[in-house]
Amino acid sequence: MTKAFNAARTKIVATLGPASGTEEGILALAEAGANLFRINFSHGAHSEHGARIQAVRAVEKRLGRPIGILADVQGPKLRVGTFAEGRVVLENGARFVLDMEDAPGDATRVRLPHPEIISAASPGTSLLLDDGKLRLRILECHPGKLVTEVVTGGPLSDRKGVNVPDMVLPIPALTAKDKADLAYALDQGVDYIGLSFVQRPADVEEARALVQGRAWIMTKIEKPQALDELDAILALSDAVMVARGDLGVELPPERVPLEQKRIVRAARLRGLPVVVATQMLESMISAPAPTRAEASDVATAVFDGADAVMLSGETAVGRYPVEAVSIMNRIALQVEADEGWRAVQDNTRQVPDHTVSDAIAGAAQQVASTTGAKAIVAYTRSGRTAVRISRERPDCAVLGIAGTIEAARRLQVAWGVQAMVVDQDRPDETVEDIVQAATQLARQAGIADTGDLLVVAAGVPFGQAGSTNLLRIVRLKP
């Protein structure tokens, strides 16, 4: 394990694509500050994704530190059919019909190959087309047909997307394509599954039944319907993403910042890693530096206590992928050095739940703060103890000593956690063994030295997930 670079405690998720998918490209992003790499299964073939996953694992070996992989499945993408001339222009106030007919469309109608939308629709509700650029209001509902009025018109071309902000659709969050992608991603050993277009808790339950513990589930909140059942959805999730792209299509723009803050607060309350995503440094797809507004957007997410911030097109197809990661890391470092940021983290710290593990996590932060400890060492089998300590946003380093490489990789999205791997299957391991391992690894990571204090959190019996019940204060000896 190599010593960590000058990284912010807020983690960075970088999307891989043509601009960054090679081993050398991934290495450059990781050295610039990326902790977890996103594979977008909405685009590309399995062979491309597999090559990038293998390249990430090769970079992991070269750097000597765990790196996480997020497989982001597409979810149910709703689209209109095609037009006889490939494109039409819808005029404000005009009538426009969406039906199940196979014939190519024109300026008066088009095929809508989604009977579930027609069945769930009601007069007065809205449909959004082409990422919200066009808005239709439903006037009449008939079997196999919706008659709408064009509220906001404009050009509409073949197979543009349909968003339905006013209705819950009776469709699963995982399509047949998603299930095939999911099986492939799990076989490749990814660490997180990004679950798209979740509407209800049952969507997360379905994914969890398919994943069977082979990865953690990162639920993407991008539908207004998910906001209505946010707490129940988060209760079933391992992590959450504020996916502002589609969320911003279906919600008024003025609501998106408030919902972002609400989701971050709710995730922190539950101790779930939370990622803020979409258009964070969008201009850097073609420019070498972000706008001032984009820098402020990243800083706001860091101030709010997000575990991670994410880059999409900036690193997947942009001209300046390494620069985008580097500036995001520098923004986070600058914010985290600010006294106001520390005050916000202290003032938003949650009251521990009435469990032993929560009490230990809360006490670890308090003891570390009181004693001036250099680090909290979380000796964790599954990674969840380190995640729970991360929720406390301690002022010192957090060293997550994981029992498996898989657990260490999942910690790459947890705020402030530096993850390392140690065999935890020794049946004769004692408290002193744990303490000795903690001090050695803290030295190795470069976060503590002779005379420094460590706070060690672990569980007895050792090597069992969910048994955190031990807190020990240790001073490093020469």
| Catalytic residue annotation | 38, 79, 220, 278
The 8-class DSSP code of residue 345 comes to: H
**53: its two tokens:** 């996953």
**257: its two tokens:** 């910042």
134 burial type by CB count under 10 A (0-12 exposed, 13-18 middle, 19+ buried): buried
DSSP β-bridge partners for residue 397: 375
Q: Is the dihedral of CA 93, 98, 103, 104 positive or negative?
A: positive
User: Residue 78's closest CA among 44, 38, 120, 45?
Assistant: 120
Could you tell me where the beta strands, DSSP code E, fall in 224-304?
239-243, 274-277
User: Residue 72's closest CA among 241, 164, 167, 194?
Assistant: 194
Neighbours of 340 (CB within 10 A): 9
Nearest 5°: phi and psi at 477?
A: -90, 160
Q: Are strands 87-90 and 154-157 parallel, antiparallel or unpaired?
A: antiparallel
Q: Are strands 109-111 and 95-99 parallel, antiparallel or unpaired?
A: parallel
Q: How many residues comprise the chain?
A: 478
**84: its two tokens:** 């006889």
3-class SS string, 140-203: EEECCEEEEEEEECEEEECCCEEECCCCCCCCCCCCHHHHHHHHHHHHCCCCEEEECCCCCHHH
Distances (CA, A) of 398 to 9, 96, 373, 445: 10, 58, 11, 11
Q: Which residues contact 339 (CB under 8 A, 6 or more apart)?
A: none
* CA dist., res. 145 & res. 115, Å (int): 9
The 8-class DSSP code of residue 65 comes to: S
